[in-house]
Amino acid sequence: MTFDYIIIGAGSAGCVLANRLSADPNNQVLLLEAGGPDRKLEIHIPAGYAKLHRSEVDWGFETEPQEHLYNRRIYLPRGKTLGGCSSTNAMAYIRGHREDYNDWAKLGNSTWGYPDVLPYFKRSEHNEQLTQLGSTYHGSGGPLNVTFNQVFRTPAADAFVASCLALGIPENPDVNGAEQEGVGLFQFNIKNQKRHSAATAFLIPALNRPNLKVITRAQTQRILIEQDRAVGVEFLSAGKSLQVASAKKEVILSAGAFNSPQLLLLSGVGAAEELKRFGVPLKKELPGVGQNLQDHLFVNASAITSVKGINHALAPFSQLKYLLQYAIKKNGPMTIGPLEAVAFTKVDKNNDRPDLQLHFAPIQADYATDLHNWKTIPLVDGFSILPTLLKPKSRGYVGLHSNDPHAAPLVQPNFLSEEQDLKILVEGIKLALEIMEQNPLSAITKSKVVPPQYGSSDDAIAEHVKRRLETVYHPVGTCKMGQDEMAVVDDQLRVHGIEGLRVVDASIMPTIVSGNTNAPVYMIAEKAADIILGNSLD
């Protein structure tokens, strides 16, 4: 089988590319997805979020033991279905800070500054609150729905926002607008109280095009490279037959920050020493493949409240009751995911942008809770404030465990290897506890659940961080864009030294953005589509 473009991975980037490239009927496009269709009911119900972890739609990776976290292995959920992580994430739509993109431009990627990328954010977007937020920073008529949750909000969410204001954190009705700093409500990829994933927004509208072929349960084994050119892919279909697809124009790798570098390595592109160790023939030495791994980290501070949250809705009978309410009226707690409000602030007041994000969740989690398994969450209502490290200094890498394409990649993020990362999270927990002391949050708080177990000193809070820290599932940077010796792609997202091969996903970010990473991936794919097709914004 022969196509013009072969896209590996039907995640956020892959779905956008499949739509945009196949819009020209002259382009024959193949989209390969290792997972199955997005038919699982919990994908589409916002409150079904946590039931997606460790399920058939999750790769379910883990890190190597983390030296600075008591050798804990940290769970790394990754979407394995149409839509990728946009079908399994918390649906938050956060773009990051404008200076994040200006930093990319300063690193030699001159067309990726904030003025360059803003139009691509807007192109994707259909913002339901455009009248309220204005068109300077937001779009209308794009495929991807963006909205505040209009039908359900817990009292604790409003109390969190008011308590942040009482502490001097400014109000910000649009953290994706002119300024990021401040406190407000999350914007979400939800439409008509259902998750609006990349598959729903971009792929499904294009499925009837005769020039677009989508194959699910098709795991790519390697990219075929001949004489420094990508000529096709080898993939296993439905776990049985090995097939080859040829690309007349390009192979586009959109498998995410773990699988994209793994596939490059398996295809012979990477550090020669590592490839030799695993018996992979070298096609192109690029030592930066898999390096520069960055991720956001958070840790919870939780309390029990006198007002209703979400915890009680997790009881089996309550789930049935609220599912019925959702099915009939499309309201109630099933219409939201795990997040409601958000704040961006500075621990280091000398910074030019926030270094701390506070995720507010209307769910309390005690020390027995596995944050990825709602069966372990207590049924007593409360909330959690999750301080999040926005600009980690620690760097890790992705490598191979073996030359078997079905083996999980080696993921060594080196969490908290830089002391400054731990200091910011300690200050974040202290800030979260201070917010809990402000009215009106203090008025509805019956008792704090965590972190009082270890005490209130900085050392005690650091102990809490090391024992409870989790990733926010925002891995980036492992096929970074740039011109230095460790860059993997150029500013056109072409793999250095290999013709006809691009990487388009979160792995190309040279530095992590200040906020949730799904919205930036949509932007990257929109911009990449124009680059590939030779289009301009006009």
CB under 8 Å to 42, separation ≥6 — which residues?
Answer: 48, 49, 51, 52, 55
Q: How far is CA 9 from CA 257, 272, 273, 294, 362, in A?
A: 12, 26, 27, 21, 33
- What is the C-alpha to C-alpha distance for residues 407 and 384, in angstroms, rounded to an integer? 35
What tokens does 201 get?
A: 């927004």
Q: Which residue has the tokens 């993020």?
A: 413
- What is the C-alpha to C-alpha distance for residues 281 and 68, in angstroms, rounded to an integer? 35
Q: Is the peptide bond before 338 cis (omega within 30 degrees of 0)?
A: no
- What is the C-alpha to C-alpha distance for residues 313 and 333, in angstroms, rounded to an integer? 7
Give the up-direction half-sphere exposure of residue 467: CA atoms within 13 A in the CB hemisphere.
Answer: 15
- CA neighbor of 106 nearest in space, from 505, 496, 483, 428: 483
Burial of 130 (0-12, 13-18, 19+ CB in 10 A): middle
What tokens does 80 get?
A: 């394995």
Cβ contact 356:347 at 8 Å: yes
- What is the C-alpha to C-alpha distance for residues 363 and 160, in angstroms, rounded to an integer? 13
DSSP3 helix / strand / coil % (the chain, rounded to 5)? 30, 25, 45
Determine phi and psi for 250, rounding to 5 degrees. Answer: -150, 150
- What is the C-alpha to C-alpha distance for residues 98 and 500, in angstroms, rounded to an integer? 31
- What is the C-alpha to C-alpha distance for residues 474 and 518, in angstroms, rounded to an integer? 8
Cβ contact 253:8 at 8 Å: yes
- Is residue 496 part of the annotated active site? The answer reads no
> Of these residues, 68, 126, 296, 474, which one is catalytic?
474
- What is the C-alpha to C-alpha distance for residues 91 and 485, in angstroms, rounded to an integer? 36
Q: Which residue has the tokens 């372990």?
A: 376
Cβ contact 152:362 at 8 Å: no
Helix axis angle, 518-533 to 12-22, nearest 10°:
30
Cβ contact 252:12 at 8 Å: no
What tokens does 367 get?
A: 């020390």
| Residues with active-site annotation | 474
